[in-house]
Structure 1
Amino acid sequence: MTAFTRTLRRRPTRPIAALGVIAAGALILSACGSNSDDMGGMPGMDHGSSTSSATSTSTTGTYDEADVKFAQMMIPHHEQALEMAKLADGRASDSAIKNIAAKIEKAQDPEITTLKGWLQSWAKPEAMGDMPGMSMGEGMMSDKDVKELKSMEGAEFDKMFAQMMIQHHNGAITMAKHEQKKGHNADAKKMAGDIVTGQSAEVKQLQSILDRF
């Protein structure tokens, strides 16, 4: 056997050795990939943080039936208060009545927009049908009451406005306190608290006006 023949027979061993190196490298890469997946589930890694963030986001803006009813009932309640407050322009003679009417418009008009926005985001209708829960107990005026208020001017208007708005505010305060107890949505409960605080103060002011008559 010549030296050249012996060399040809030895060459096939080199590819075999190279294949062994490649296979070993593949096993190492596979092990690294497995370790990377395992670390993703370890406490404190990014995977855990993402889950926590998703949970936090999913609970933001949650609501319950009480929140929905609060928004649905407060919208028409506020709308009637605005209707009454706008009547003060050109009819009221007492500067305190005019100031309170202006406060009502400034506070309740934006709240109506907010309440409607909540219902839209919750995919709930603005109206409750016949709204059996909405009665005179919540301070709503009848159409006859509002029509009578429209017909008055000066001191007569001031007195009737104060009487009607006290009743109306007390109804709103009752509904707001119910929302504070039964509601779940943080923003709705905060608005309820603002209503209780603001309208309670206005009731005292209105009563002081009545005491002058």
Structure 2
Amino acid sequence: MTALAHAPRRKHLRRAVATGIAVAAGTLFLTACGNDMNGMDHGSGKATASPTATATTGKAASTDFNKADVAFAQMMIPHHEQALEMARLADDRASDTEIKEIAATIEKAQDPEIRTMKGWLKSWNEPTGVESMPGMEHGDGDGMMSGSDMEHLKGVKNAEFDKMFAEMMIEHHNGAIAMARDEQKDGENTAAMTMAGDIVRGQSAEVDQLEGVLDRL
């Protein structure tokens, strides 16, 4: 065979290579266009969030909040923390079974709520700890116990503890219920208002139960 005999084969090979390059280039062009169009509202030219961006920012609606939501979380965190401190004292001081059960219920409910509220404040770029806020001083209707109240509770046991715990927790819960109702009235954040409703229902039921305990002690 001569070099001339191989010429058609070489021409055919060059055409195949050229065709492959054109196809690859076309594929790359279409892919690039497709990627660009992912961020466009077809027909309008307006930018829209990509599926990934939408998934990431899908919680935007739940982050809407106002000053009432911030105050609710900032005030309820220390309120819950004091309730937990009181409830944990019941482990080795209470003698009444129902008091111990109520204390366990308080721990189970309020510990996760504290973590949730701290998460809200962090996402809202608001401080989770506030040194002093209006309404958080004992005697202002918030139900918070004074330092001397807490020391007194720590110093008693058995039936005396049971009675004092019930009396103090009723006052404490009533303060939380009032704060939660303010949030229901003035708040904007859906999750915060839902928690406020849970607090009103749950702690109102516990107040009724504690009053029943006092009646029989």
Asked if these proteins are the same fold (TM beyond 0.5), I'd say yes
Compute the displacement of 1:130 (Å): 1.5
Q: How many residues align structurally?
A: 175
User: Larger C-alpha radius of gyration, 1 or 2?
Assistant: 1
Amino acid aligned to 2:148: K
User: In the alignment, what sits opposite 1:104?
Assistant: 106
Amino acid aligned to 1:82: L
Question: 2: CA distance between counterparts of 1:210 and 1:64?
Answer: 39
User: In the alignment, what sits opposite 1:201?
Assistant: 205
Pair 57,207 (structure 1): closer, same or farther in 2 beyond 3 Å: closer
User: In the alignment, what sits opposite 2:189?
Assistant: 185
TM-score (norm 1): 0.75
Determine whether 1:157 maps to 2:161: yes
Q: Would you say the 8 A contact 1:41–1:48 is kept in 2?
A: no
Q: Deviations over 1:65-117 (max 9, x none)?
A: 00000000000000000000000011101100000000000000011111111
User: In the alignment, what sits opposite 2:175?
Assistant: 171
Question: 1: CA distance between counterparts of 2:207 and 2:70?
Answer: 26
Unmatched tracts of structure 2, length 5 or more: 1-36
Amino acid aligned to 2:177: I
User: In the alignment, what sits opposite 1:68?
Assistant: 70
Unmatched tracts of structure 1, length 5 or more: 1-36
Amino acid aligned to 1:207: E
Equivalent runs, 1:1-213 vs 2, <5 Å: 42=43, 58-135=60-137, 136=139, 137-213=141-217
TM-score (norm 2): 0.73
Q: Would you say the 8 A contact 2:63–2:124 is kept in 1?
A: no
Question: 1: CA distance between counterparts of 2:187 and 2:143?
Answer: 21
Pair 96,46 (structure 1): closer, same or farther in 2 beyond 3 Å: same
Amino acid aligned to 1:63: F
Compute the displacement of 1:133 (Å): 2.3
Compute the displacement of 1:129 (Å): 3.1
Question: 2: CA distance between counterparts of 1:84 and 1:49?
Answer: 48
Pair 56,109 (structure 1): closer, same or farther in 2 beyond 3 Å: closer
Question: 2: CA distance between counterparts of 1:186 and 1:124?
Answer: 17
Compute the displacement of 1:194 (Å): 0.5
Question: 2: CA distance between counterparts of 1:104 and 1:40?
Answer: 50
Percent identity among equivalent residues? 61
Compute the displacement of 1:147 (Å): 0.3
Q: Deviations over 1:102-160 (max 9, x none)?
A: 00000000111111111111110012332122133100000000000001111100000
Compute the displacement of 1:61 (Å): 1.6
